[in-house]
Amino acid sequence: MPVDLETILILVPEGALILSATALFVLGAADRRRSWWPVCATLPLLFALVMVVRDWGRPVLYSGPLIQDATGDTGRLLSVVLGLVMVLMAWRQTRRKLATEFFGGLLMVVAGLMLVSRANDLVFLFLGTELVSIPTYMLLFLGKRNRASSEATVKYFFLSLLASALFLYGVSFVYGMSGTTLLVGSGDLLGIRDKLPEIMQSQIGGLLPLGLVLVLAGLGFKITAVPFHFYAPDVYQGTTNVNAAFLACAPKIAGILALTRIVVNVVPAEFYLGAKLVIVLAIVTMTVGNVCALWQTHVRRLMAYSSIAHAGYLLIGLALGLASASSGGLHGLSAMLFYLVLYVVATLGTFGAFAYVRSRGEEAEHLDDLAGLSQTHAPIAAMLAVCMLSLAGIPPLAGFWGKLTLFSGAVELAFDMTHPMRGWFAVLAVAGALNAAIAAAYYLRVILVMYFKPPHSDSPVTADHGLQTVVAICSVLLVLIGADPGRLLDAIEPQAVRARQVPVEPELGMNAPDGEQIPE
Amino acid sequence: MSEWALLQNYLVVGALLFGLGLVGLLVRRNLIVMFLCAEMMLQGVSLSLVAWGRYHGDWGGQIFVVFMIAVAACEAAIALALILMLAKQTGSLDVAIWQDLREEGQAPFVDRGLPGHTAGTQKWPTLTPAGIEPQADEDESNHRSQI
Amino acid sequence: MEWLVVLIPTLPLVAAIVTASLGPRVLRSQSHLPVVIALALSLLCSLVLVVQVQRGYTENSDTGFEVPIQLWSWAVIEDAHVPEISGLTAAGKSLDEPITRPFRVDITLRADALTATMLAMVTFISTLVALFSVGYMHDDRGYWRFFTYLGLFVFSMTMLVSVSNFLLLFVFWEGVGVCSYLLIGFWYTRPSAAAAGKKAFLVNRVGDFGLIIAVFLIWTTYGTVNYHDVLHTPAGKVVVDSKTVQEAVSEKAAGMDPGSTLIRGVLGQSRIKTNDFVIGPDGELVVLAICLLFLLGACGKSAQFPLHIWLPDAMEGPTPVSALIHAATMVTAGVYLVVRCTPLFAACPTAQLIVACVGGFTALLAAVIALTQFDLKRVLAYSTISQLGYMFLALGTGTMAGITAGFFHLFTHAFFKALLFLGAGSVMHAMGDVIDMRKFGGLRHILPKTHLTFLCGCLALAGIPLFSGFWSKDQIVKAVKEKADQLEVSAVTLADLDTVASAPPEKQVFTIPPPWSASIYRWLHWSAMFTALLTAFYTFRAYYLTFWGRQYVPEEADHPHEPASMWRPLAVLSVCALAIGGVLEIYHQPAGYLQQTPSLSGESFIPKLDGEVALISSVIALAGVGIASVLYLGDRPFVGWLQAFFEFRWLSRVTRRAVYCSPYRLSSEKFYLDELYGCVVIWPLRTLANISGIVDRWLIDGLVNLIGWLPRFAGWMVRSLHKGLLQFYALGMVLGLLLLVLWMWWIR
């Protein structure tokens, strides 16, 4: 299909990011001073932020492979903010000689995330996810030059490759059934979503479950869903705290956004098989994550299992989105996006605090390195405690509202007498509640160590104001959102509602990418 | 031969390629071979995509394949650089040496018995069977500083 | 008058708070100052209040005099109670009672004759005890703590007698219980003191349980827990002033409709006028239940059989506490409660009979136990139980004579018992905290002032004519005798009229026929006179053992002395013990004054001194003193012989083992009641508790631990998958994928 100026124009932020990244890679060879490359990385991010904010809430803009809609807006904003926060975290934490590569890679990833959040085409989706993955391999390798870091990179690289292959194979089935790479069609141009209902009846319709499982496998790797989670603990443990923060957020955002695009938008409403699959994945994921986290003494490994568990909670939202599609309820999707935002904020704060704490000159690794933090660095300890409590879902904090919206959605469906899957959701709600209880144990253990164990004699900190700022912003945000969750939820809710709306006609004057199909 | 039967043939071959690559990825321990196996999986996917595209009479599949090849090239570049670095670090391509990161208290995987040497006169060029020290001859090691 | 009633409890509370906050750091050895000053001021206010109540009564003397003072609302639940039946009687109809009633707990105090008397007595004794404690407790480490508790106790006690609401009554009932617990266990490092405090508290809980159930019953029966009437005006105002309420009632009766609704209080004037206490078909049963539950509560607080066992142990506390709380004031709370609820008890003769029986039996039992005790304070403790039994016996007659007599005895007893206890405290102080009468003797030269004042107390307690105990005890005996006579007469009349047979059958169930009750009261009369003999005997036995005979002191007494701060209160109290009964009796004050209370103003009655009863009482008391003098004055030749006789030593010589149920052993071992409770109540409960503990520790905790352990176990299982080898991970992913595909194929 022809690509015109409008389509190019709506890609301006992404393009700017990629160009800046390229410039960084090239120019980085000339100058190795760390102090000023972060600024160079910040500028395009700020530019992208301005563009995204300008586009926020604009009417749905449809241009074939790209769609500018509500999910896209939310995802893009989240991506750019993540990029900015990561720059702040990495400002002093990257190795001086590798700063340009690191920040360039970071910009690439942000561009990839922004592409994923707007993709309306399998090819674009694939490109976006790969644009997230490939720089990630690099970032992982850049973090530390030791055995553990190398091992983490190897594991992530090969398993990610495997996951990509699975995802692509699943995509090939999806494409094969529908005969188009377009996800949501417009006008005469039919997308997969428009064709799937009739395909379901045909002989090749039976391939849909296979394709769905494979796609879920590929994207499940990104969001660390069990059984595609194996890499996470090892990789988090092997890499630096900043990289771990990045790994816990960026792929998860990409995965969730891609799942929203490809699964929720595409799968027909009556196709409950998908919801069942997601429910099973959700229950297994959160349970495995939580029970394994109980045993951990390594902070990043603990957080890896925690992030696995949170992937399980996020999948609840996906299941809700799949199962309530027919009844038009989009509670699940907005709850999932809401939870994703809270998770990202709390995780960034937590890893920021971990990075801030040093033990014997090294990064904090063992849980005991945090011992007595409340006495040596009271503010950081308090803020880390806020993040932990929010992740655990303790009431006044933001995390509680995230869990509440997710679980209440499940409970709502469980009590909906007409819903064919109410039993499944009842089990899901119970499992979620039990898991929240289990999870409290290890989050509170971190607080226990910080507040009730005597401090080590030597626990200096990196005098890193960037990290301090990040941790402070995150914890304050958690408290504020906890105090008034409705504001954020209200901002997300209509976005999610619009996510399923598809323009039958493109907005007048905004674009005419497929003008030949639309009668003038 | 009907379109449908033709498609099935292609799909079976694609699935076989994918499966072969998968099995290879699972059983081989040499990093390079593992990467090649992963590439083979992607080729299986490519074949499927092209076949589906032909079946539907749609160019999308072929375009997808073009992009896939491009991405695979990127990945190959990264992979080879990575493998080179790792080999420089450890002097080995065996993936089994990378198992320091694991759950506490779990026993590492240890070779029970090494696979026997493949008999044959020709020793070079071969890819070293995983799990054993590569036996480079003297000249070779003098000639090249590292593997 | 309002501010007086508020001020009396507030002053001690403020003093307690001040002492608690400033005592340990600032006041130190002057910690008594706030409390003593506050108590003295409270006493002053109480005396003024007594006079003002008298004055108010003379101005308005038709229905009795009461002034409820509403301070603020504690809890209001609108429309909480819907009476099963409207319960409107002739007079009630004159003013509409609301269909639904709010559950209102207002902080309402009241001023009437009963309250004023109690307040005066409590503040008077507590002031003197506080003064005494200044000398007795000096140099104690918990000096400030003692006075804090004391202030808190006086606050609770004054509130207890001045609140106008059963729920608040319960609150402060518990309040004095807590203070008692704190003060018994004041020397908490002594295990026996801690145990005694616990025992007192637990035994009291049994009674409190009865009390709170009774309050529930009152709420469900009468739809209010207030004593007083409450008028809800159309403007939404809540009026409690009895005069206004009565005016509204009469206005309504006169046809002028103020549109107000009236909630008749349980002991309010409207209800008393119509004597409307039995409500509904099971009304009799409910009233009986309320009365008996109140009696249970009163038994706990006033140490009546079977809940009397805590009081002797409570002597582990400091002696001034024993004097104040466990002899003079707190233990009379039960008596106060029964007097306050006289209209309720009057509606249920069976309950009255039971009260009388409990009282009479307790009086006798405690007197018998007191005969053989060697611990001076224990003798006094049992004598307290015995005297409280007298009071209940008097209240149990249900006649105005009996009630006024019981209350009169409460009043006089408070003075002389406080005196005796403080005297015992003085002895104890001088003897280095030794209180066993076998370890000292002949102290009349060492402690002359204590000796004299103690003698005054003994004379009063023994009921020697013209001392205060004589007058009140005499009235009690007379009231019981009159009740028995009266019942005999009515029994004869009833038998003549043959009305017993024609009475409605359900009435018979709860009413004991007059001939029976007449003979029961007759027996109680005899037992009361016998108890009087025992009282005189054991009182003077203790007196002689302590102050007469050969002079010797224990080793612990290093410097026997009587500080002025201790003997001066004793002197004041001994004057009261000698005179107060006679003075009041001569002016017929106790009965006349008490009848100004609305709930006691039923029948007008002027007590007269009955010559015959007085004579018999005097003879009995003197006989008791005489026996004690013969036995314990001089060389005491007969004591050992008598003891051997009553111990059935001749029998044990035959059987070659000690006779455990000989009269002497029974008395000295307190009829083995503690052991009995130990076997019947404590041991089964302990066993049950142990079993529950084992179940809790091993079964419940085990289950909880198992549940807590399950996730860890699951984690351990899953952990073993993370072996670290890349291929294992890839295999895990692929196998998981295959499982999912197969599962989807299976469920589709």
> What is the rounded distance in angstroms from the CA atom of residue C154 to the CA atom of residue C176?
8
Contacts with C725 from chain B: Cβ below 8 Å: 95-96, 99, 102, 108-109
> What is the rounded distance in angstroms from the CA atom of residue C57 to the CA atom of residue C279?
31
Contacts of A26 (CB under 8 A, 6+ apart): none
Closest residue to B82, CB basis, from A157, A164, A235: A157
Closest residue to C734, CB basis, from B26, B98, B103: B26
Contact at CB, B68 and A126, closer than 8 angstroms = yes
Q: Could you tell me which of C389, C413, C393, C394 has the C-alpha nearest to residue C607?
A: C394
What element of type H or E holds C228? Answer: none
Q: Greatest CA span in chain A, whole angstroms?
A: 76
Structure tokens belonging to residue A501:
């709306």
What's the confidence (pLDDT) of residue A515? 37
Q: Could you tell me which of C266, C276, C281, C259 has the C-alpha nearest to residue C223?
A: C266
Closest residue to C730, CB basis, from B26, B102, B106: B26
**Subunit partners of chain B (3 or more CB pairs within 8 A):** A, C
Most confident of A424-438, C62-76, C653-667, C711-725: A424-438
Q: Is A291 on the interface with C (CB under 8 A)?
A: yes
Mean pLDDT of C134-163: 88
Mode of pairing for the β-strands spanning C230-232 and C238-239: antiparallel
pLDDT band at C517 (very low <50, low <70, confident <90, very high): confident
- Cβ pairs A/B, distance under 8 A: 123
Q: Could you tell me which of A401, A420, A398, A404 has the C-alpha nearest to residue A482?
A: A398
CATH number of the domain to which B25 belongs:
1.10.287.3510
> What is the rounded distance in angstroms from the CA atom of residue C601 to the CA atom of residue C113?
11
Give the best residue of C722, C726, C734, C738 to mutate against chain B (max B CB count within 10 A). C726
Closest residue to C724, CB basis, from B22, B26, B99: B99
Contacts with B104 from chain A: Cβ below 8 Å: 295, 297
Contact C132, C425 (CB under 8 A): yes
CA distance B132 to chain C (A): 17
> What is the rounded distance in angstroms from the CA atom of residue C123 to the CA atom of residue C129?
10
Closest residue to C748, CB basis, from A209, A231, A287: A209
Contact C439, C413 (CB under 8 A): no
Q: Is A192 on the interface with C (CB under 8 A)?
A: no
Q: Encode pLDDT of A245-303 as tens digits.
A: 999 999 999 999 999 888 777 777 667 888 889 999 999 999 999 999 999 999 999 99
Burial class (CB in 10 A: 0-12, 13-18, 19+), C411: buried
Contacts with B63 from chain A: Cβ below 8 Å: 123, 181
pLDDT(A475) > 60: yes
Contact at CB, B86 and A154, closer than 8 angstroms = yes
Contact at CB, A294 and C711, closer than 8 angstroms = yes
Mean pLDDT of C12-18: 92
pLDDT band at B121 (very low <50, low <70, confident <90, very high): low
What's the confidence (pLDDT) of residue C88? 44
Q: Is A440 on the interface with C (CB under 8 A)?
A: no
Give the best residue of B106, B110, B111 to mutate against chain C (max C CB count within 10 A). B106
Contact C162, C49 (CB under 8 A): no
Q: Encode pLDDT of A296-320 as tens digits.
A: 999 999 999 999 999 999 999 888 8
CA distance C733 to chain A (A): 5
Contact C221, C161 (CB under 8 A): no
pLDDT band at B21 (very low <50, low <70, confident <90, very high): very high
**What residues are paired with C375 via a beta bridge?**
C436
Please indicate, yes or no, if residue B139 is contained in any of the structural domains: no
Q: Could you tell me which of A168, C508, A189, C441 has the C-alpha nearest to residue B43?
A: A168
Mean pLDDT of C480-486: 85
> What is the rounded distance in angstroms from the CA atom of residue C559 to the CA atom of residue C554?
11
CA distance B139 to chain C (A): 34
Per the listing, tokens 């007599």 go with C405
Contacts with C733 from chain A: Cβ below 8 Å: 159, 162-163, 166, 217, 221, 227-228, 230
A292-327 burial, b at 16+ Cβ within 10 Å, e below that, comes to: bbbbbebbbbbbbbbbbbbbbbbbbbbbbbbbbbee
Contact at CB, A291 and C737, closer than 8 angstroms = no
Burial class (CB in 10 A: 0-12, 13-18, 19+), A42: middle
Mean pLDDT of C494-502: 54
Contact at CB, C730 and A158, closer than 8 angstroms = yes
Contact C51, C113 (CB under 8 A): no
Contacts with A227 from chain C: Cβ below 8 Å: 732-733, 735-737, 739
Alpha helices in B28-137, H assignment, sequence order? 31-56, 60-90
A175-190 burial, b at 16+ Cβ within 10 Å, e below that, comes to: bbbbbbbbbbbbeebe
pLDDT(B132) > 80: no
Give the total number of structural domains in chain B: 1
Calculated CA dihedral for residues C516, C520, C523, C527, nearest 10 degrees? 170
Please indicate, yes or no, if residue B134 is contained in any of the structural domains: no
**What residues are paired with C111 via a beta bridge?**
C67
pLDDT(C504) > 70: no
> What is the rounded distance in angstroms from the CA atom of residue C748 to the CA atom of residue C738?
15
Peptide bond into A396 cis (omega under 30): no
What's the confidence (pLDDT) of residue B128? 65
pLDDT band at C60 (very low <50, low <70, confident <90, very high): low
User: Left if phi > 0, otherwise alpha if psi is -120 to 50, otherwise beta: which for B126?
Assistant: beta
**Helix (H), strand (E), coil (C) string for A13-47:** HHHHHHHHHHHHHHHHCCCCCHHHHHHHHHHHHHH
Q: Is C586 on the interface with A (CB under 8 A)?
A: no
DSSP codes joined into one string, A366-425 = BGGGGTTHHHHSHHHHHHHHHHHHHHHT-TTSHHHHHHHHHHHHHHHHHT-TT-TTHHHH
Give the best residue of B18, B55, B98 to mutate against chain A (max A CB count within 10 A). B98
Q: Encode pLDDT of A22-70 as tens digits.
A: 998 888 878 766 677 888 889 999 999 998 888 877 766 666 788 877 7
Contacts with A172 from chain B: Cβ below 8 Å: 14, 45, 48-49, 52, 61
Contact at CB, B96 and C734, closer than 8 angstroms = no
Q: The domain containing residue B82 runs over which residues?
A: 1-94
pLDDT(C237) > 80: no
Please indicate, yes or no, if residue A95 is contained in any of the structural domains: no
Closest residue to B49, CB basis, from A152, A157, A175: A175
Calculate the average pLDDT of chain C. 83
Distances (CA, A) of A139 to A143, A147, A351: 6, 15, 16
> What is the rounded distance in angstroms from the CA atom of residue A436 to the CA atom of residue C730?
29
Q: The domain containing residue A492 runs over which residues?
A: 269-503
> What is the rounded distance in angstroms from the CA atom of residue C218 to the CA atom of residue C197?
31
CA distance B64 to chain A (A): 6
Nearest CA in chain A to B29: A158
Contacts with B48 from chain A: Cβ below 8 Å: 169, 172-173, 176
pLDDT above 90 as % of chain B:
45
Contact at CB, A150 and B85, closer than 8 angstroms = yes
Helix (H, G, I), strand (E, B) or coil at C256: coil
Nearest CA in chain A to C742: A210
Closest residue to B95, CB basis, from C720, C727, C734: C727
What's the confidence (pLDDT) of residue C15? 92
Please indicate, yes or no, if residue B5 is contained in any of the structural domains: yes
Q: What single letter denotes the amino acid at residue C137?
A: M
Interface of C with A in 715-744 (CB under 8 A): 715-716, 718-719, 721-722, 724, 726, 728-730, 732-737, 739-741, 743-744
Helix (H, G, I), strand (E, B) or coil at A11: coil
Please indicate, yes or no, if residue B140 is contained in any of the structural domains: no
- In 3-state terms chain C splits into helix, strand, coil percentages (rounded to 5) of 70, 5, 20
Please indicate, yes or no, if residue B145 is contained in any of the structural domains: no
Question: DSSP code of A263?
Answer: I
Please indicate, yes or no, if residue B10 is contained in any of the structural domains: yes
Total count of residues recorded for chain B? 147
**What residues are paired with C226 via a beta bridge?**
C165
What's the confidence (pLDDT) of residue A509? 38
**Subunit partners of chain C (3 or more CB pairs within 8 A):** A, B
C556-578 burial, b at 16+ Cβ within 10 Å, e below that, comes to: ebeebebeeebbebbbbbbebbb
- Residue that wins the pLDDT comparison between C48 and A491: C48
Q: Could you tell me which of A98, A103, A89 has the C-alpha nearest to residue A464?
A: A89
Please indicate, yes or no, if residue A75 is contained in any of the structural domains: no
What's the start-to-end Cα distance of chain B, in Å? 51
Please indicate, yes or no, if residue B89 is contained in any of the structural domains: yes
Structure tokens belonging to residue C251:
């206005």
Nearest CA in chain B to A163: B38
Give the total number of structural domains in chain A: 1
- Please state the pTM of the whole predicted model: 0.65
Q: Is C729 on the interface with B (CB under 8 A)?
A: no
Give the best residue of B36, B43, B56, B64 to mutate against chain A (max A CB count within 10 A). B64
Contact C164, C171 (CB under 8 A): no
Q: Is C714 on the interface with A (CB under 8 A)?
A: yes
pLDDT(C91) > 50: no
Nearest CA in chain C to A212: C741
pLDDT(C506) > 70: no
Structure tokens belonging to residue A31:
């100058």
Angle formed at CA A126 by CA A124 and CA A129, multiple of 5 degrees: 105
Contacts with B31 from chain A: Cβ below 8 Å: 154
Task: Tally the C-alpha atoms within 13 A of residue C264's C-alpha that lie toward its C-beta.
Answer: 28
Angle formed at CA A386 by CA A383 and CA A391, multiple of 5 degrees: 130
Mean pLDDT of C116-135: 89
Structure tokens belonging to residue C52:
């003002």
Total count of residues recorded for chain A? 520
> What is the rounded distance in angstroms from the CA atom of residue C151 to the CA atom of residue C236?
38
Task: Tally the C-alpha atoms within 13 A of residue A338's C-alpha that lie toward its C-beta.
Answer: 34
Q: Encode pLDDT of A136-154 as tens digits.
A: 999 998 877 788 899 999 9
Q: What single letter denotes the amino acid at residue C251?
A: E
CA distance C686 to chain B (A): 48
**What residues are paired with A186 via a beta bridge?**
A189
Helix and strand numbers (H, E) in chain A are 20, 4
Please indicate, yes or no, if residue B137 is contained in any of the structural domains: no
